Structure 1
């Protein structure tokens, strides 16, 4: 009898260990309360509060360094960059007036991206492009699954503080929006951009150097920004 109880206890302990491990894995594998929390794209209003936006540009238009991101709103890696690296760069460099940043939306992932780009670019006409892009990432679906429809986009735009969503939905086919999206493809061809996210740095849009394609850490990006800032002194 005691032998059966011993075996049962061992099996129960092993099962408990497996359950605990599964919980840790499903929650991201971290049980360390001191580990920094990833910024949620839902924090966008707080992140951007007080920072000027003008169309595609986030930050002081007189900032000496220009950072350009080529992104596809369906791209999960673009969302990862937005949640992990971008908020730190905003706080350290854009808010301080050292860097301005442009968001160039492309459609490497197909028709859903085209629809998304038009809606978010329409928000740029109200100087809310960055807010709208972050809100889109919050509810990003499976790429190329057909989820980007008018109802979905209206929900995204309605969640943007200070944006007239009805006007933005109407402006999606405006000449300003279509011209800006066409300009992105021209710029991608010029700089041989083939993936998203791709980050470029320089002093203006005519003199950019590619930093990386893929998700880049805020520390690596900060190093490149500091080097560029030294060139402007």
Structure 2
């Protein structure tokens, strides 16, 4: 896979690199009311187009067969998460924030979540990233994700035996296939592709997010995500309303749901 990207998205990527590069949860946490001189990468404006880079929406795969995604492929809003299973703040997001977003937005068809393995903490990070992909090949990615991000899980490490135990906890049916897939070329290629995409955006810390082309850095409070998702959904509805109407459906095309 080439590291070069289409020229049309270069400007958006450059901006995202500034927003996502070298950040941490502490540095990007929204300022407390009344705090002076503070700002947040994830600040949400009343303008639904503020901070949104349309070029970056192309990073959403919207592949219905993607086993590391949750929600409808045609959902109006796509949240892409670049994360590492050894990242404490990624675990915080997975335990505290993501379940709320799933219940509130994924379940009603508003939101799709697309996972990107972005291991940055060494060999164990790489190994558990490949393992998560392997679990996904047997339809158990999100169960593996939950087990790997459980409170205290990362403190136990992600050695070979521990990864096998997580797969069992996640209900991966074929342990032999899981072990083989985890070390296979396909898993390495999939993780590498996710890493390249994250690095192309300038992400150097985890978690980092894109929500319909809006970069967010760090495990921000729930309100940052709900406000961003709702603004993106409103923008998507407005764009749909603005589409020309009255045209005949082309032969062989699918009608909108």
TM-score, length of structure 2 as denominator length:
0.63
Give the aligned partner of residue 175 of structure 1: 185
Matched-pair contact (CA < 8 Å) for 2:119–2:195: no
Structure of larger gyration radius: 1
**Corresponding residue of 1:21:** none
Structure 1 residue 223: Cα displacement: 0.4
Q: CA deviation at 1:156?
A: 0.1
More helix by share: 1
> Which ranges of 4 or more aligned residues in structure 1 deviate by more than 6 Å?
none
Report whether the alignment pairs 1:186 with 2:196. Answer: yes
Does 2:141 match 1:136?
Answer: no
- For structure 2, the 5+ residue unaligned runs are 1-63, 238-257
2:168 alignment partner, one of 158, 162, 174:
158
Distance in 2 between residues matched to 1:164 and 1:221, nearest whole Å: 36
Q: Secondary structure at the match of 1:85?
A: helix
Out of 225, 231, 247, the residue aligned to residue 221 of structure 1 is: 225
Contact 1:53 1:128 in 2 (8 A): no
- Give the Cα separation in 1 of the matches to 2:140 and 2:74: 19
- Is residue 2:117 matched to residue 1:112? no
**Does the 8 A contact of 2:82 with 2:115 survive in 1?**
yes
2:203 equivalent to 1:198: no
Equivalent residues in 2 for 1:1-233, closer than 5 Å: 54-138=66-150, 139-142=152-155, 147-161=157-171, 163-202=173-212, 208-211=213-216, 213-233=217-237
Judged with a 3 Å threshold, the aligned counterparts in structure 2 of structure 1 residues 53 and 158 are, in CA distance, closer, same or farther, namely farther
Superposed displacement of residue 174, structure 1: 2.8
- Cα distance in 2 for partners of 1:111, 1:175 equals 16
Cα root mean square deviation, aligned: 1.9
Q: Contact conserved, 1:54 with 1:127, CA < 8 A, in 2?
A: no
Flag the structure with more relative contact order, 1 or 2, with Cα contacts below 8 A and sequence separation at least 6. Answer: 2
Q: Which runs of 5+ in 1 are unaligned?
A: 1-51, 203-207
